[in-house]
Structure 1
Amino acid sequence: MITLEGKSVYGGIAIGKIAFYKRDEITIKRCHVEDTDQEVKRFEEARARASLELQELHDKAMEDVGEANAMIFEIHQMMLEDLDYVESVVNIITTQEVNAEYAIGTTADNFAAMFQAMDDAYMQGRAADVKDVSERLLRVLCESDGSPMAIDGPVIIAADDLVPSETVQLDKDKVLSFVTMYGSSNSHTAILARTMNIPAVIGAGEGLRQEYDGKIAAVDGFEGRIYIEPDAPTMERMKKKQQEDMAQKELLQQLKGKDNITAGGQKINVYANIGNMADVGAVLKNDAGGIGLFRSEFLYLESSTYPTEEQQFGVYKTVAENMAGRKVIIRTLDIGADKQAEYFGLGKEENPALGYRAIRICLTQTDIFKTQLRALYRASAFGQIAIMFPMIISVAEVRKIKEIIEEVKAELRAGGISFREDVEIGIMIETPAAVMVSRELAKEVDFFSVGTNDLTQYTLAIDRQNEKLDDFYDAHHPAVLAMIQMAAKSAHAEGIWIGICGELAADLSLTGTFLSMGIDELSVSPGMVLPLRKRIRES
């Protein structure tokens, strides 16, 4: 048995034969041309035909994966019109007196290398798009039909990499999974895989070899592992995991598209919590109504320095697009306490849980805060983004946040940058202070979201990181539930909605209690969406 490690793109288990993706190999030769004007004309005609093909792919993607993901092919059409790209090809043809194929190949290599050299992971993912567009042009020039690989199936598709047009043309009924040697989790192909619900592992490296074609393999999309010719214990384990996954999918089919309404007619939204972009596939798979908590601090924790505006924008935009109109609530960075990033230079504190963290950092280091807000508001033009702020204890903090937001919006307007004016803003209710002044806070924001982990810690004066206090830590303590009830009454009195995104939201023994409080939304880990929906519908 051979085990390969890669990056999970979409969870799921696939067991079957490997089929390496076969594509028409185009050999690019450098040829001298006498009539460069005619060669430029060939290039322009190829661009026109490629644009028509991309329109057809766009229409197919609209049916298969929805408008947000079909935009990939609009982007490719824009690349065909990109002046830098076009001028590079034309310049190589005219100055070097060479054929269009060579000029396109050279430009593609140069642009792909440029994107891959960038620090921004989102921009690195664009290298595959340049490759896809350029190969389409080359197929047109070489009069190759570019038809997708015929699949006898069902098979696990393996490849060095897959470009978006190849992925969208795959016969989904015959594809168990796909695995690639290379690729980025930020690539459009990865996004499509998540949307199309195809278990996938990318970046398996050169250990994924052509010689494995036809061999039996098991793909663990949850763990990002590929087992080539798995031994008996591994196969048994994978089959059991696959059965559990199928049972979950069966439950999904029974509940998918149905409202979260109790037997008595009470409706509640069920959203999902995520830590990064890779979790979006699980959100969609489990049919969550939206994202109730995107922990943006993981962008900071996974970086060795402050993430740039462009890096953050790329992530927020992609998540918003993938959610295709469903609400995405992004919490501003909650660094501090048990979540430390060395480059912040926070230093040692006697009581870090009560210290310099979350909104306190943002309101004192406003350059960091404004960078994130700019990225968030820019991304709001691509979906239904809402923003919430952690560790609030006063009305004054909220008003200061709103002042900074207005500054950011004014800067974006002045720069002619699009954003949504109606972005909902909310706050985390996770301190007793916020609960006690919740009626006044509710007049300032659009929603509350209760962070029960910290609210329990601060209400009970118990460090939730101290294992010696486990016997004293009681998330069901009457005082904690009374705090949630008080916040709910304050929210509804001022006409705003309230949700819970902490661990208690997934405690099915409390679902009835939260329904009786009038909680409007519960946000849980993706895997808990279906059990929670089932519990609500049975209440």
Structure 2
Amino acid sequence: MLALDVQHVRMDQHAADKTQALQCLVNILVEDKLVTPEYLEGLKAREQQSATYLGQGIAIPHGTPQSRQYILETGVRLAHFPEGVVWDGENKIYLAVVIAAKSDEHLQVLQVLTKALINDVSEQVRTATSAEQIIELLQAQPLSLSLHENLISTHIPAQDTDDLFWHASQLLKQQKFVEPGFLTALDPKQMIHLGEGIWSITATDYVITPAISIVKPDQALTYHNDTLTTLLCIASNEQLDLPQFNRLIDILFDPSQREKLTYENDSHEIAQIIGAEIIPDWPSKQVTLANAHGLHARPATHLVNISKTFKGDLQVAVDDGAYVSAKSLTKLLSLGCKRGQVLTFIAEPDTDAVLGLDQVIDAVKQGLGEEVEPIDDLSHQNEHVTEDVLSFDDESADQTSGIAASAGLAFGPAHVLKPREFKYERQSKNVKVETEKLEKAIEQVKQNIHQLISETKIKAIQQIFTAHLEMLDDPDLIQGVHKGLKQNLSAPAAWYEHIESAAKAQESLKDHLLAERAADLRDIGERVLAVLCNAPVISEPEEPYILIMHDVGPSDVARLDKERVAGILTAVGGASAHSAIVARALGIPAVVGAGASVLNIESKTTVLINGDNGDYVINPTADLIDHAIAERERQRQLRIEAEKHSQEPAITLDHHQVEIAANIGKVNAGIKAVKDGAEAIGLLRSELVFMAHKSAPDEATQEAEYRIILDDLAGRPLVIRTLDVGGDKPLPYVPIPEEENPFLGIRGIRLTLRKPDLLRKQLVALLRASDNRPLRIMFPMIGRVEEWRAAKAIFDEIFAEYPRENIEVGMMIEVPSAALLSPILAQEVDFFSIGTNDLTQYTMAIDRGHPVLSAEADGLHPSILLLIDQTVRAAHQYGKWVGICGELAADPKAVPVLLGLGVDELSMSSGSIPLVKAQIRQLNFAECQKVAQQALLCDSATAVRELGE
């Protein structure tokens, strides 16, 4: 999803005219790796077709469909021109929101903008002096309260208030005023009696836009010994228009008006009584929008121009929503109408607009100035496929991409499993029976999970299912479900509503790893719900296939037959989700987070996925499949050959050697690392030793753990990172106050310097375990020289008591300040180890786990390479060595550059070692040095990656 973000605003831009402004905007997009320079022609062509002036000093320049081939990644950037730029020969703009969109995502931005422009913000746009002001201005939501006839429903067959709550929340949900979860936020204890059988109930959670739905049962209900004939369901938040709300209350407390509401009125009459917006009883016609990228600026402008030719009023609504004027560009854009949605046009009676309905409908069918393929002529599968260009480079196929989650190429017929729908009665009056049903279902699921644990030999799967068992035994979880049962919900309803509420709460957590655990909650939730509803077991095809789902739960993956499932493609998910972890453990190629459109792929359609880069192709050509087969075999042969020579050193053709080490998280992973060809352990994450204990491990316990890895290495060097935990990775026995941004808080050395006893015990255990074997101790998250010196002073104190040989003490370069201070620090450390994951995150101010921005945090960005270059040069000046222990160390594109910069050690996951060693043996160090110098002069990570192609 596109979003307006402070970091995407460029203030104080200058341009003499529109031509210069467009060049300025393209330069920004190119700098941020969103487009290539050729995209400029698309912006110019769009302006020639129709100026993109939106109003109130704002323009929304974007390219033509033909220019999408120059888009590298969908994105939006904002540029503020304080002197202004004449945009359409008449109006001057001060803010340009330039869009590079491959699909209809930009409609979300237009909706945000047009909502902001309901109020006059032209002067604030002109005089803005900061990015924060711009974003706050554009994201400001005007006060509102939706009172509309389509939010009123009468003659509802309701047995009790729960039925009314459900119908009232559904009306709000259908119009997108509330999110799932709103129903559970309605508390019957908060019902207010307004008199004459009228009651109200209010909730503020899960509210998108303030609105009121009104429902009337087909017969009066008895509630708290009183009559209930009308229920007002109020969805309220900080945008609630209180004056409008108070006017409604005044009407409800007017005896003459209130009495009318108790009659058998229909929704139209009630809307008139309370002053709600009424669906006009005007002549109407409907049409399905066929424009590939929705009702964006250009077709909307075309529609406005047609509508203005009629004197009579012409209004339009999307999918039974509220009507807006078809003569207002701002209001049309606020609809956010996408391809495939239905537009309903209504015309003012007895005016020329009635005769013009057919003309408007025909114009929409013809594409409103754009070439379109009629909806009826396209298969359901292709309605939602975007126009992304993939590295598969097959112009005849439908192509797009997601997130690479598990490496490998795979193809086969699609087996599409859409989210399951379970049918059940929501209410039950027998609490005891429903409680017994729930307990039996939970017990049955537990038995199934125990069986899965016993049948699998993969530890990752066992650990995940063990966590699922713990969830099913969670007293808080079960207590919440029982609360629903006591409110006379059926077992399926009580279970689903509480699980979904808990999952949403989990999703809202700031830590993306914790948020992704919501998938596990829903996974166990569906398993129990399936038992409660006697849902049939889903069978899989006999032949190998590509599994396509909204999200593949861990239990789904674990039940799969590896011989049949060629690959996995999901609509949502992240590379660190449990489903991705299990897919990697099973060796099944997987692409996740590819968008909801994948669920529209027809079953048995051939799909090709690339788990290495996240690309996938629908209906690939025979040549492309043949190429994939050949590539997969080539990769297999490369690995076989590389593994044969994995124990040999990594020496370039011109005899330059670099040490290849392994990153590990467990002390017993050393044997495998050595087997894979590791010449050292370049990073042992010691925090996992601490996380395995409920209280801080003492010196003896730690010493025993560290001896295991040192023994397994048989004299090979061990680089160990001292305890690296904090707000983002808390220890239960080291409480830390909640931090707004734990990545910028107390973590790493900042924590252990504040709790020096933890650091002292760890250093004692390490020195005792070393027995004069090569041990390299490094401190994490050093950002200031003072921190290094404080940590080193503690080490020196311990070392004086436990002297050993073969000990080196260094630090990690993870913070830009440390890299910039490397000329000073290099004089005092024994070595540097560069953690490129965090260094990239902190340098580029992008959370590496961010679902939208993480792809932009590329360690090959020149800014990162310049910091690495300075660090290496500073270290070598004083005879110190430098290692890389981030993911960049195993990136085939990065290896030549890192070698050329003079890095002495590359440390990576042990499985990557054979291939990296094989690559280095084919390189020429002198050539790598030339490439590295070229990389330092590049302007983007994309340009660096293109070197040598």
TM-score between the two structures when normalised by the length of structure 1? 0.58
Q: Which residue of 2 aligns with 1:353?
A: none
The correspondence of residues 189-338 of structure 1 with structure 2, limited to 5 A, is 189-231=579-621, 234-235=624-625, 238-251=628-641, 254=644, 270-271=661-662, 292=682
Q: Match of 2:604, as an amino acid?
A: G
- Larger RCO, structure (CA 8 Å, separation 6 or more): 1
- Paired residues of 1:452 and 1:500 also in contact (CA < 8 A): yes
Per-residue CA deviation, residues 472-529 of structure 1 (Å, 9 max, x unaligned), is x99999x98685xx447xxxxxxxxx85659999569989x99xxxx8x642698962
- Paired residues of 1:270 and 1:533 also in contact (CA < 8 A): no
Distance 1:525 1:32, change over 3 A: closer
Q: Which residue of 2 aligns with 1:413?
A: none
Q: Which residue of 2 aligns with 1:153?
A: 543
1:12 counterpart (392, 408, 416): 408
- Is the partner of 1:198 in helix, strand or coil? coil
Please identify which structure carries the higher helix content: 1
Q: Match of 2:578, as an amino acid?
A: H
Cα distance, 1:188 vs structure 2: 0.9
Cα distance, 1:224 vs structure 2: 1.3
Cα distance, 1:100 vs structure 2: 1.0
Cα distance, 1:535 vs structure 2: 8.7
Q: Match of 1:55, as an amino acid?
A: H
Cα distance in 2 between the residues matched to 1:58 and 1:125? 22
Q: Match of 2:913, as an amino acid?
A: V
- Paired residues of 1:11 and 1:222 also in contact (CA < 8 A): yes
Q: Match of 2:554, as an amino acid?
A: P
Cα distance in 1 between the residues matched to 2:784 and 2:722? 16
- Is the partner of 1:427 in helix, strand or coil? strand
Q: Is the counterpart of residue 27 in structure 1 residue 423 in structure 2?
A: yes
- Is the partner of 1:201 in helix, strand or coil? strand
Distance 1:232 1:131, change over 3 A: same
Q: Is the counterpart of residue 71 in structure 1 residue 467 in structure 2?
A: no
The unaligned stretches of length 5 or more in structure 2 are 1-396, 652-657, 665-671, 686-708, 713-717, 725-740, 767-776, 796-807, 814-818, 840-860, 923-949
Greater gyration radius: 2
Cα distance in 1 between the residues matched to 2:909 and 2:896? 11
Distance 1:46 1:392, change over 3 A: closer
Q: Is the counterpart of residue 3 in structure 1 residue 393 in structure 2?
A: no
The unaligned stretches of length 5 or more in structure 1 are 274-282, 296-324, 334-364, 406-423, 443-447, 455-463, 489-497
Cα distance, 1:164 vs structure 2: 0.6
- Is the partner of 1:212 in helix, strand or coil? coil
Q: Which residue of 1 aligns with 2:153?
A: none
Q: Is the counterpart of residue 46 in structure 1 residue 438 in structure 2?
A: no
Per-residue CA deviation, residues 11-68 of structure 1 (Å, 9 max, x unaligned), is 221122222248975323324233x12322332232233222222222334x0x32x4
1:110 counterpart (501, 511, 520): 501
Q: Match of 2:588, as an amino acid?
A: I
Q: Which residue of 2 aligns with 1:418?
A: none
Per-residue CA deviation, residues 437-472 of structure 1 (Å, 9 max, x unaligned), is 44xxx5xxxxx4455999xxxxxxxxx969xx9xxx
- Is the partner of 2:487 in helix, strand or coil? helix
Q: Match of 1:86, as an amino acid?
A: I
Cα distance in 2 between the residues matched to 1:111 and 1:259? 49
Cα distance in 1 between the residues matched to 2:477 and 2:599? 33
Cα distance in 2 between the residues matched to 1:140 and 1:169? 17
Cα distance, 1:183 vs structure 2: 2.3
Cα distance, 1:221 vs structure 2: 1.7
- Paired residues of 1:428 and 1:450 also in contact (CA < 8 A): yes
Q: Which residue of 2 aligns with 1:302?
A: none
Q: Match of 2:746, as an amino acid?
A: K
Distance 1:212 1:403, change over 3 A: farther
> Once the two structures are aligned, what percentage of the paired residues are identical?
24
- Paired residues of 2:608 and 2:625 also in contact (CA < 8 A): yes
Cα distance in 2 between the residues matched to 1:171 and 1:245? 23
- Paired residues of 2:660 and 2:913 also in contact (CA < 8 A): no
2:452 counterpart (49, 57, 64): 57
Cα distance, 1:202 vs structure 2: 1.1
- Paired residues of 2:435 and 2:491 also in contact (CA < 8 A): yes
Cα distance in 2 between the residues matched to 1:16 and 1:375? 50
The total of aligned residue pairs comes to 394
Cα distance in 1 between the residues matched to 2:623 and 2:609? 15
- Paired residues of 1:392 and 1:427 also in contact (CA < 8 A): no
- Paired residues of 1:475 and 1:504 also in contact (CA < 8 A): no
- Paired residues of 1:15 and 1:219 also in contact (CA < 8 A): yes
Q: Which residue of 2 aligns with 1:523?
A: 907
Cα distance in 2 between the residues matched to 1:199 and 1:165? 17
- Paired residues of 1:508 and 1:532 also in contact (CA < 8 A): no
Cα distance in 2 between the residues matched to 1:475 and 1:118? 36
Cα distance in 2 between the residues matched to 1:476 and 1:370? 28
- Paired residues of 2:409 and 2:628 also in contact (CA < 8 A): yes
Per-residue CA deviation, residues 259-317 of structure 1 (Å, 9 max, x unaligned), is 56799xxx9762269xxxxxxxxx99x9686984799xxxxxxxxxxxxxxxxxxxxxx
Q: Is the counterpart of residue 84 in structure 1 residue 476 in structure 2?
A: yes
Cα distance in 1 between the residues matched to 2:553 and 2:723? 33
Distance 1:174 1:105, change over 3 A: same
Task: Report the aligned-residue RMSD.
Answer: 5.4
Cα distance, 1:138 vs structure 2: 2.1
Q: Is the counterpart of residue 94 in structure 1 residue 489 in structure 2?
A: no
Cα distance in 2 between the residues matched to 1:173 and 1:167? 13
Cα distance in 2 between the residues matched to 1:387 and 1:476? 17
Cα distance in 2 between the residues matched to 1:101 and 1:128? 19
Cα distance in 1 between the residues matched to 2:885 and 2:587? 25
Cα distance in 1 between the residues matched to 2:420 and 2:407? 30
Q: Match of 2:744, as an amino acid?
A: I
Cα distance, 1:433 vs structure 2: 4.7
- Paired residues of 2:504 and 2:518 also in contact (CA < 8 A): yes
Q: Match of 2:404, as an amino acid?
A: S
